[in-house]
Amino acid sequence: MRLLDTARALRCLVTRTFSTSQHLSKMATDIRFNASLSSSDPQVHPVLIIGQLRHLNLLKFDQLASKLQPRVTEETFRSALACLHPAPTDKVSLYLDVATMAALPLKASRHNTSSRAHAITRLVKNHVLNVSEESVVLVCERENLFASACAVVRAFPLYSRKTGGNGQQFQKAASPEAGDSVDNAEQNARNVVNVEFVVIDKDGCIETDPLTDDELKCLKETTRGIRLTARIVDMPCNEMNVDHFIQNIEELAKELSLQPQIIRGEELQERGFGGIYGVGKAAAVPPALVVLSHEPKGAQETIALVGKGIVYDTGGLSIKGKTAMPGMKRDCGGAAAILGAFYAAVKCGFKDNLHAIFCLAENSVGPNATRPDDIHTLYSGRTVEINNTDAEGRLVLADGVCYANKDLKANIILDMATLTGAQGIATGKYHGAVLTNSETWESKSLQAGRKSGDLLAPIIYCPELQFSEFASAIADMKNSVADRQNAQSSCAGLFVAAHLGFDYPGVWIHVDMATPVHCGERATGYGVALLLTLFGNHTNSTLLQSIAPTLEEPPSKRLCRD
């Protein structure tokens, strides 16, 4: 009889937990990073422990007891650990469904991140319970701490228009994140995920020192940058048009004590921005070029980040098909990532001049829409014959990078864009494509991708063989290639570089992230962690400096010498 009563009690607990989870999953989630493991009862605050099996095997029960007792004994912990056989991942319950241990894939190839970031995100999405408060414990090496933390963050997107049974919206369109104001009703409907670490040092020992305030600040600001980026990308155009995007820029600028420069509508045409103006002139909300500038004393370099911000892409008069158009709200993913990364970089003490350039437009169909055969003069002064109005991103980026060179005198220019569907074919759905005039920075970018979890793969940079695809009989160039079978993603990037000039003496980096910008129907916040890592040595953050790319020689130079 006592056994039956116990079984009934456990069944009630599981049912109550599941019911609460279903209710709270519609609510906003706060992500908090703790310096060390806090004490909590898993029956009240569920816990998910994630790590590589070789790291989990290093743990002693005492090191996790604060998260497991009094529900889990050392014997149960050891038995559960012995049951883990990741293929590629595996999980085991330590106590009902409220204390779980999960093992990451055993191997990571040279083109993957050693943090196994994508597996972490999947495990967190599938196994957190979304109750009022719970914990995710990451067992990892210090070099993977940043990427592992970012992987957890990606599992909790902000934007939702789901309603409760009474039609009440649990989460507003512009769901607040740390630092934003919230009303009392929404504040009371937020659940908390505590992210904590057990850090393994290079010798395979458990570090006892807690995370520093500097590290916690870096993780906090990066979290906000990633979630802000994902929120903007997830929002439909009726809630995130050019006006709304500018409002988001202005709000962050105010926090950073900066004043954005905004060039809009007819002023774009008057000042020669024929690319941005031509793409956006048919939309009800006029296009814009917006610039944020962080210029600290003692700066040695000038870095410009240029983002494609097509808030919706119908394809223009070269209109997309009915199955190809849904999801085009994500075509502002590059500009969104630039905004999130710029915010976090400034908050982490960026030491050099940093400019964020947002090329914002809606590619619409209307009486004023650009026609195929029209010729536009871009900010570079070069003329472009339009042969495909759906190849619009390169037009706005060309104006942006040219402005970065001519007006801002940047010696490092990086543009980021959801530029080509061919990117997914060339480098897949997890790796963005990187195209650059610098082999050294190509190597750095690949390193940064592996360190951050925002993976990259190189594509061909060969303008002397590929730029002829844009030949025009009546203008300097066309905007779309003659042969769509000839390295489309590379050619699209070369169009942008042509307006900067192939003899540009500085560093130009192009990141096409059309596919990794989302996973399924949700945005990933791709690009923020990548940029913070790539330029980590330009910040005062010790965490970002520790994972920033080294100045090692590019692969081909080492190969030739050997």
Nearest to 542 by CA among 216, 140, 151: 216
Residue 341 identity? A
**Residue partners of 207: CB distance under 8 A and separation at least 6:** 142, 199, 200, 201
Cβ-count burial 103-117 (b if 16+ within 10 Å, e if not): bbbeebeeebbbbbb
Instruction: Sort 312 into a burial class: Cβ within 10 Å, 0-12 / 13-18 / 19+.
Output: buried
Mode of pairing for the β-strands spanning 456-458 and 432-436: parallel
Mode of pairing for the β-strands spanning 412-417 and 507-512: parallel
Q: How far apart are the C-alpha atoms of 87 and 53, rounded to whole Å?
A: 11
444 φ/ψ angles, rounded to the nearest 5 degrees:
-60, -40
Q: How far apart are the C-alpha atoms of 562 and 558, rounded to whole Å?
A: 6
Q: How far apart are the C-alpha atoms of 392 and 287, rounded to whole Å?
A: 13
Catalytic machinery residues: 320, 394
Q: How far apart are the C-alpha atoms of 154 and 250, rounded to whole Å?
A: 24
Q: How far apart are the C-alpha atoms of 332 and 514, rounded to whole Å?
A: 10
- 3-state SS string over 267-324? HHHHCCCHHHHHHHCCCCCCCEEEEEEECCCCCCCEEEEEEEEEEEECCCCCCCCCCC
How far from the centroid of its chain's Cα atoms is residue 427's Cα?
17
Helix extents (H) in 317-377: 333-347
Residue 67 identity? K
The distance in angstroms from the start CA to the end CA of the chain is 77
SS3 state of residue 83: coil
31 φ/ψ angles, rounded to the nearest 5 degrees:
-110, 125
Q: How far apart are the C-alpha atoms of 160 and 26, rounded to whole Å?
A: 8
Structure tokens at 333: 């993913």
- Provide long-range contacts, Cβ within 8 A and 24+ apart, for 443-449: 443/549, 443/552, 443/553, 443/554, 443/555, 444/534, 444/549, 445/509, 445/511, 445/534, 445/549, 447/549, 447/550, 448/530, 448/533, 448/534, 448/536, 448/548, 448/549, 449/113, 449/530
SS3 state of residue 157: coil
